[in-house]
Chain A
Amino acid sequence: NAGVTQTPKFQVLKTGQSMTLQCAQDMNHNSMYWYRQDPGMGLRLIYYSASEGTTDKGEVPNGYNVSRLNKREFSLRLESAAPSQTSVYFCASSRDRGVSYEQYFGPGTRLTVT
């Protein structure tokens, strides 16, 4: 039981390049989330998916797109990376449909945009 896994662990992009961050969970959870964590800002929600086939914008969705491919997988895409998107990205999941107080986080992806 791996929990929540994320790939890649580290990535360096040039401004304007695109990439997809992958996330998968093996806990049969319904809800999945993407957050970014910046110094002094805490975790901020980018996108949220309450169930397969549904997604909702969070606090900071601009510059990102998501796909809930199936119940297990939730990917985050940066179409044209900007230095402001340099951050640590965390994927999380929770059991219930609807946001839960108990979220399980992956190990994170450290992204640098130069």
Chain B
Amino acid sequence: QKEVEQDPGPLSVPEGAIVSLNCTYSNSAFQYFMWYRQYSRKGPELLMYTYSSGNKEDGRFTAQVDKSSKYISLFIRDSQPSDSATYLCATLNTGGFKTIFGAGTRLFVKA
């Protein structure tokens, strides 16, 4: 079993839709939960991170962590064509040296 599981998609939505991207993880020691965005033929860039459980909001983006079910979510409101990219979830435990990345979900937002 992979330590972080993520549906690769692709996920195709119309402009303006609410998008929900999800990951599950297996190691309860993970404490940092990140979402990276990767445009085609570019390197990933950090979009958001949360520490431990709870929600974090940044503009149209909300990151949510449920440690009891080991579930990570990213919600995108009012999705735009410019949101079309691959979204990678990632986890890290304090004191560890390895960031574990999910396989990434490809998102297409159609105008």
How many Å from the CB of A18 to the closest CB on chain B?
A: 24
- How many A-B contacts at CB < 8 Å in the complex? 56
Q: Which residues of A contact B103 (CB under 8 A)?
A: 40-42
- Is there contact, CB below 8 Å, between B99 and A99? yes
- Is there contact, CB below 8 Å, between A99 and B45? no
B residues contacting the other copy or chain, number (CB 8 A): 23
A24 at the interface (CB under 8 A from B): no
Residue of B6, B8, B45, B102 near A105 (CB, 8 A) is: B45
Show the binding face of A for B, using Cβ within 8 Å: 4, 40-45, 48, 50, 56, 58-59, 90, 92, 98-99, 101-108
Show the binding face of B for A, using Cβ within 8 Å: 4, 6, 8, 32, 34, 41-46, 49, 88, 90, 92, 96-99, 101-104
